[in-house]
A and B are shown apart, each in its own frame.
Chain A
Amino acid sequence: MHWGGNGADGELTELLARAQTGDADAYRRFLRGAAPFIRAVARRRLRGDEAVEDAVQEALLTVHRVRHTYEPGRPVEPWLAAIAVRRAIDIARRGGRVGRREVHDEAAYETFADPRTNAVERNDDARELRRMMDELSPGQKEAIELLKMREMSLAEASTASGQSVASLKVNVHRAIKRMRLMLAKGPPE
């Protein structure tokens, strides 16, 4: 789908209007058609394919949440561009925050360059983590896996798991509390 002409915009406008009535096929085609446009907007504001793809996914999730705000008959491009820009800015800010938190450690090379150096500790940690995860309830385990290990946003995790955002938050909170207690107690004899 090519952007910049009325043809693509007109087609997407029609698809989105149909998607608002619950037409899943039109919605799928709309999202597929919108993704390259969002990607192009994100590329103008972000560096790195990963950050761009994060912005695309965040924007698609936002489109899903606010699709009722699109007014049928109006051009879809400004509506979509505003969402894409907003999410690209969010990702850029988040990236900036991570950059400020992370520091360059000269000694890290010596310790971490050879994966064998830390293999024993890493295996112990992984075993300990698995043990703690096994102790959690299925909901708590799923929340930790999606939000902390796979680093999904709350909305994505909610989509993937079927748990509401509120219950994901509660499950993560309880899981971390429980794991802290387990860590404080130490491994079983």
Chain B
Amino acid sequence: MTKLPTDLLIESLAAQAGPVTPLASPLRRALAAVAALGLAIGAAVLLFAFPDSIAAQAADGRGTLGFELASMAVTAVLAIFGAFHLAVPGRSRAWAYAPLAPFAAWFLLSGVGSYRVLANGGHGGWELGESVRCLRFILMVSAIVATPLIWRLSRARPITPGPVAWLGGLGAGAASAFALHFFHPFAITFVDLGVHLLTILLVAAIIRLLDRRVLRPA
């Protein structure tokens, strides 16, 4: 089904050779995005967070809280780095798997923490409780985080938008779940954890479904 001779197509494309501004390297663009995200979350925490949120969760019997927070932050950062790298042709596909280990560590550590809360007779058990608020928070913050992130990613017009969308969604969801801990003055139960996981996957799936519209693939 070849339509135009290739030479003719080349001439036609060369005739449209306007100047373009090369994108900065994915590393620099990802660093800028992560720095902006860090500043925004930091400002929101300083201005609006519950002052004793982290102390309350730590006192609720979760010795792993620091590691959980670190693994969430690393998941978000690696997912964002991966999305920026995969948006550009020819970069290593290994970036797609970079956030998987911290993501697994996060849920493993949170699972252990939730078990400790349950074993110590903590609140919550298997009730839905505050989980609906968590879901609302993660969805809302993810939308705020994802909008500029996806816009930045779309500038590369990714040729394989699927993995870029998944990683962008995972990055936004993980960053939101990280921020949630500063607005969540009680320990996370198994139900909360399940809701967090489902919400993050939901965010990633929504962005994946919209990828052809929002990422402007080439």
- Chain B residues lying within 8 Å of A86, measured Cβ to Cβ, are 89, 159-160
- Tally chain A residues at the interface, Cβ within 8 Å: 42
Residue of A64, A69, A78, A152 with most chain B CB atoms under a 10 A cut-off: A69
**Contact indicator B159/A82 (Cβ below 8 Å):** yes
- Total number of A-B contacts with CB less than 8 angstroms? 107
What does the 1/0 interface line of A135-162 toward B look like (CB < 8 Å)? 0000000000000001110001001100
What distance in Å separates the Cβ of B7 from its nearest Cβ neighbour in chain A? 8
Which of B15-23, B74-82, B130-138, B201-209 contacts its partner? B15-23
B59 an interface residue at 8 Å Cβ cutoff? no
Output the least CB separation between A79 and chain B (Å).
4
What 1/0 mask marks residues of chain B from 156 to 185 whose CB sits below 8 Å from any chain A CB?
A: 110110000000000000000000000000
Segment among A27-35, A119-127, A175-183 that sits at the interface with chain B: A27-35
Cross-chain contact B14 with A31 (CB below 8 angstroms): yes
**What does the 1/0 interface line of A6-48 toward B look like (CB < 8 Å)?**
0000000000000111111101100110010000000000000
A66 within 8 A of B: yes
List 24 contacting pairs A-B, 8 Å CB cutoff, sorted by A: A20-B22, A22-B20, A23-B17, A24-B15, A28-B11, A28-B14, A32-B10, A35-B10, A53-B6, A56-B6, A57-B3, A61-B13, A66-B89, A68-B21, A69-B23, A69-B88, A69-B89, A71-B23, A72-B22, A80-B89, A80-B90, A81-B90, A82-B159, A152-B4
Q: Which 7 A-B pairs have the closest CB atoms?
A: A22-B19, A78-B90, A28-B14, A79-B90, A82-B89, A27-B17, A68-B20
